[in-house]
Amino acid sequence: MKSSSRAALGLPEERRTFAGASRVDSGLLAATLLLAAIGLATVQSASAELSIDYLPRQAVWVGLGLVLLLVTLAIDYHDLVDFSPFFYLGGLALLVVVLIFGEGPGGTRSWLTIGGVRLGQPAEFAKLTTALFLARYLASAGERHLDLRQIATACAIVGMPMALIALQPDLGSAAMFVPLAAGMMLIAGLRLRFLIATALVVLALGAVGWHFGMKDYQQERVITFLSPESDPLGAGYQVQQSKIAVGSGELTGKGYGQGTQSQLRFLPARHTDFVFAVLAEEWGFFGVAVVLGLYLLYMVSALRIALRARDRGGILLVVGLISLLGFHVAYNTAMVVGLLPITGIPLPFLSYGGSFTLINFIATGLILGIDLRRYVNR
Partner 1 sequence: MSQRTDMRAVREHREVLLIRVRALTVLVVTVITLITGSYWYHQLVRGAHYANLADNNRLRKLSIRAPRGLIFDRHGKVLVENIPSYDLMLDRSRADDIAASLVFAAGVLERPVERLAAELEKASNRPDFVPVPVAGNLTLAQVAQMSVTGREHPEFEIRARPLRLYRHGPQTAHVLGYIGHVSKQDLATQPGFLPGDRIGKDGIEQTYDSALRGGAGQQVVVVDSRGKSLQEQHRKPADPGQDLHLTLDLRLQQAAEELMRDRTGAVVALDPRNGEIRAMVSSPPFDPNQFARGLGAKQWQALLDDPQDPLQNRTVRNSYAPGSVFKIIMAFAGLQEGVINESERVYCRGSATIYGHRFGCDRRSGHGWVNLREAIERSCNVYFYHLGQTLGIETIARYARAFGMGTATGVDLSGEKVGLVPDNAWSEKTRGTRWYAGETISVAIGQGPLLVTPLQTARLMAAVANGGALVRPHLVRGAFGEEPPPRLPGSMRWLDPIRDGLRAVVNAPTGTAYWNARLADVEVAGKTGTVQVISRAKVDGELSGNLRNHGWFASFAPADDPQLVIVVFAEHGESGSSGAAPIAKALYEEFFASRAGTA
- Cα angle, residue 112 at apex, residues 111 and 113 outer, rounded to 5°: 110
Do 171 and 218 touch, CB atoms closer than 8 A?
Answer: yes
256 binds partner 1 (CB under 8 A): no
| Sole window of 19-27, 110-118, 209-217, 259-267 interacting with partner 1 (rule: CB under 8 A) | 259-267
Do 35 and 276 touch, CB atoms closer than 8 A?
Answer: no
In angstroms, rounded to a whole number, what is the distance separating the alpha carbons of residues 300 and 361? 17
Stretch 6-65 residues interacting with partner 1 (CB under 8 A): 10, 12
92 binds partner 1 (CB under 8 A): no
Beta carbon nearer to partner 1, 68 or 188: 188
Question: From the CB of 49, what's the least distance to partner 1, in Å?
Answer: 8
Beta carbon nearer to partner 1, 83 or 327: 327
322 binds partner 1 (CB under 8 A): yes
Do 9 and 313 touch, CB atoms closer than 8 A?
Answer: yes
What DSSP assignment string belongs to 137-202? HHHHH-SSS--HHHHHHHHHHHHHHHHHHHHTT-HHHHHTHHHHHHHHHHHHT--HHHHHHHHHHH
Beta carbon nearer to partner 1, 12 or 255: 12
| Percent of the chain as helix, strand, coil, to the nearest 5 | 70, 0, 25
288 binds partner 1 (CB under 8 A): yes
265 binds partner 1 (CB under 8 A): yes
SS3 call for 297: helix
Q: Indicate which single residue of 16, 57, 310, 374 sits in contact with partner 1 (rule: CB under 8 A).
A: 310
| Sole window of 100-108, 158-166, 193-201, 277-285 interacting with partner 1 (rule: CB under 8 A) | 277-285
306 binds partner 1 (CB under 8 A): yes
Q: Write down the number of H helices and E strands in the chain.
A: 16, 2
Question: From the CB of 265, what's the least distance to partner 1, in Å?
Answer: 4
Residue 352 dihedral angles phi and psi, to the nearest 5°: -70, 140
In angstroms, rounded to a whole number, what is the distance separating the alpha carbons of residues 46 and 61? 17
Cβ-count burial 349-378 (b if 16+ within 10 Å, e if not): bbbbbbbbbbbbbbbbbbbbbbbbbbebbe
Beta carbon nearer to partner 1, 21 or 307: 307
199 binds partner 1 (CB under 8 A): no
Question: From the CB of 166, what's the least distance to partner 1, in Å?
Answer: 25
Stretch 221-240 residues interacting with partner 1 (CB under 8 A): none
| Nearest CA among 266, 272, 295, 291 for reference residue 280 | 291
Beta carbon nearer to partner 1, 295 or 356: 295
Query: What residue ranges bind partner 1 (CB under 8 A)?
Result: 10, 12, 142-144, 183, 186-189, 241, 243-251, 260-261, 264-266, 280, 284-285, 288-289, 292, 295-296, 299-300, 303, 306-307, 310-312, 315, 319, 322-323, 326, 329-330, 333-334, 337, 339
